[in-house]
Structure 1
């Protein structure tokens, strides 16, 4: 594919061994719709194979990293489970495969041979946490805000945060954030180790780090990433496979319907455990 044409959710620029990948929407707050999930693995698989690229910088446009999953745009993924025959085994298997495909989009950052640096400004919510957790270095601006928010919309996070965050911030903090769904600021993200630096000009600092990585011996840099990923990613994949089956069985619920309705009506959801 050409990385300079036909992209709607991402913009790619390559210079001096560094590829910059910018989230550009088209949804508000760079929310992640069908274009994003289709283009992300195309871009990162291409960058992985491009010998001129030695490191990658990922960041969002418009003052935010991403609002996370674009629920209205992704409604067709969930619709089969919410229909009258949502208990149909074939529909549930199709939904499991849809989860797997979204997981593979996120996995493309982890399997990219080149180190990926994510620079977070503004909001980084839900699926955006899954994305940055799959990158190698994470930095943020003091204005960045984060949330593992899936629990608020009656979803078990299924794209990697529950599998990768324990290795980054520890199991206790991961459970805390995933069970409460609460927002947290950049200072807390830094103290937890989710991000390793805070920088006022976070994209500028990201460019500095990407250049530092790109100046090192490329095969050694790639080796560091591969060796560190070797043990972790097998465990991550096991967890991803498990949550595919869990959500295929349990996501179709009255609580999920209530979450979707409350979101559309801009009101707090009232969950009943059904």
Structure 2
């Protein structure tokens, strides 16, 4: 089973990427299951906690199936942005490539000090997706975003927190407690209507869909003309 789900408490659902033997690499089955599971959570849950099993949140695209995954990466981003409630990322270990891009659409992210981020696209010869061409510059500024994309360098959780990508960094034995505490507070102490409307306003401040479609065009046709002198 590449994906596990559990009810944490009333209106809170945990979604666990469950391919630990491959560092939760995102293959077609997992991508499809993620989009479907997030979509179907809308009616029953107000908060989703998304995590990875084992030593990574996700190592990014499964390179054995990358050419066939197509628009499925965009679909997992569309799913979390369309989820009416709040999506919390619980990150540990590797957060790489399309998986890192995906977290840019999460509402809140927390991580352990051992978490390592990397955008390897420029290294391996693919283009960025998941709306990250605008979401990353919006989050950390254009200059720093370009540096991370162009150099493909690794950076740790402390730097990610300083950049504003994380709401906090906690030791692994405290991370679960923190994430549950925030999730329960959102359910018990906040107006669900206000949360949903605030998320809607924030997510529609600009048209991510047009940007994602442009990314899809570049991703699909870019390699066919890669020898052209741009």
TM > 0.5 between the two? Answer: yes
Aligned 8 A contact 1:27 1:33 in 2: no
Match runs of 1:80-95 below 5 Å: none
Distance 1:179 1:55 in 2: 34
Whether 1:60 and 2:52 are equivalent positions in the alignment is yes
Equivalent residue, structure 1, for 2:63 = 71
The equivalent position to 1:178 in structure 2, one of 128, 146, 149, is 149
Distance in 2 separating the partners of 1:158 and 1:251: 15
Instruction: Give the TM-score of the pair, scaled to structure 1.
Output: 0.77
State the shift of 1:157 in Å. Answer: 0.9
1:146 and 2:138 are equivalent in the alignment: no
2:35 maps to which of 38, 41, 52:
41
Query: What corresponds to 2:203 in structure 1?
Result: 229
Mapped to 2, the partners of 1:107 and 1:202 lie a distance apart of 26
Paired residue secondary structure (1:143): coil
Which is richer in strand? Answer: 2
Gaps of 5+ in 1: 1-7, 78-97, 256-272
Q: 1:48 to 1:199 in 2, by over 3 A?
A: same
Q: What is the alpha-carbon distance in structure 1 between the residues aligned to residue 105 and residue 130 of structure 2?
A: 10
Q: How many residues matched?
A: 225
Taking a change above 3 Å as real, the CA distance of residues 237 and 254 of structure 1, as seen in their structure-2 partners, is closer
* Match of residue 130, structure 2, among 156, 159, 163: 159
Rounded Cα–Cα distance in structure 2 between residues aligned with 1:252 and 1:121:
36
Alpha-carbon offset, residue 253 of structure 1: 7.0
User: 1:142, CA displacement in angstroms?
Assistant: 0.6
Aligned mates of 2:60, 2:214 — CA distance in 1: 22
Query: What RMSD, in angstroms, separates the aligned Cα atoms of the two structures?
Result: 2.0
Contact map agreement 2:20 2:55 (CA 8 A) in 1: no
Does residue 211 (structure 1) correspond to residue 211 (structure 2)? The answer is: no
- The one-character-per-residue Cα deviations of 1:217-271 (angstroms, maximum 9, x if unpaired) are 2112111111111213x1x22221112111222224789xxxxxxxxxxxxxxxx
Q: Does 1:9 align with 2:2?
A: yes
Separation in 1 of the partners of 2:176 and 2:61?
A: 23
Structure 2 gap segments, 5+ residues each: none
Offset, 1:75: 4.2
Do the aligned partners of 1:60 and 1:66 also contact (CA within 8 Å) in 2? Answer: yes
- Cα 1:27–1:106 change in 2 (3 A) is farther
Distance of 1:211 and 1:34 partners within structure 2: 32
Q: 1: distance between equivalents of 2:156 and 2:73?
A: 27
Deviation, 1:28, is 0.8
1:194 aligns with 2:144: no
How far does residue 102 in structure 1 lie from its aligned partner after superposition?
Answer: 2.8
